[in-house]
A and B are shown apart, each in its own frame.
Chain A
Amino acid sequence: MSLKGAAAITGYAEFPPTKTPDGLVSLEIIARLARETAQDAGFEKRDIDGLLTTTPIDSFSMFWPTVVGENLGMSLKYFDTVELGGASAAGMIWRAAAAIHAGLCRNVLCVIGGVTAGGGSLQLGHLSPAHRAEFDAPFGISQPNAGYALIARRHMHEYGTRPEQMAKVAVDQRTNALRNPIALFNKEPLTVDKVLASPLVFDPLHLLEIVSRCSGGAAVLVSSRDVARASKNRPVHLIGAGEAGTHLAISARKNITESWVKASAETAFAMAGVAPKQMDFVQVYDCYTITVLVSLEDMGFCPKGQSGPFVAERDLTFAGDLPLNTNGGQLSFGQPGTAGGMIHVVEAVRQLMGRGAARQVKNASLGVAHGNGGVMGDQVTLVLANQ
Chain B
Amino acid sequence: MGASSKPLPQPSRLSLPFWEGARRSEIRAQRCRACGHIEHPPRPLCTACWNDDLEWVSCGLEGEVYSYTVCHWATMPEFKGDTPYIIAIVELGDGVRLTSNVIDCAPDEISVGLKVKAVFEPVSDAVTLIKFRPASQR
Give the interface of A toward B (CB within 8 A). 120-122, 130-131, 133-142, 145-146, 149-154, 157, 199-205, 207, 249-251, 256
Contact = CB atoms under 8 A, between A and B. Distances in A.
Interface in B69-83: 69-79, 82
Contacts of B71: 140, 142, 145-146, 201-203
Nearest to B73: A201
B25 interface: no
Contacts of A141: 87, 99
A135 B107 contact: no
Contact of A136 (B72, B99, B127): B99
Contact of B101 (A121, A140, A205, A249): A140
B72 A138 contact: no
A251 B75 contact: no
Contacts of B78: 140
Interface residues of B, number: 41
A131 B10 CA distance: 10
Nearest to B70: A203
Contacts of B34: none
Contacts of B82: 140
Contact of A139 (B15, B41, B75, B100): B100
B9 A145 contact: no
A137 B12 contact: no
Contacts of A134: 9-12, 15, 41
Contact of B69 (A120, A131, A146, A251): A146
B61 interface: no
B8 A138 contact: yes
Nearest to A134: B9
Given A140-B82, A140-B87, A153 B112 contact: yes
A202 B69 contact: yes
B69 A203 contact: yes
B72 A203 contact: yes
Contacts of B131: 139
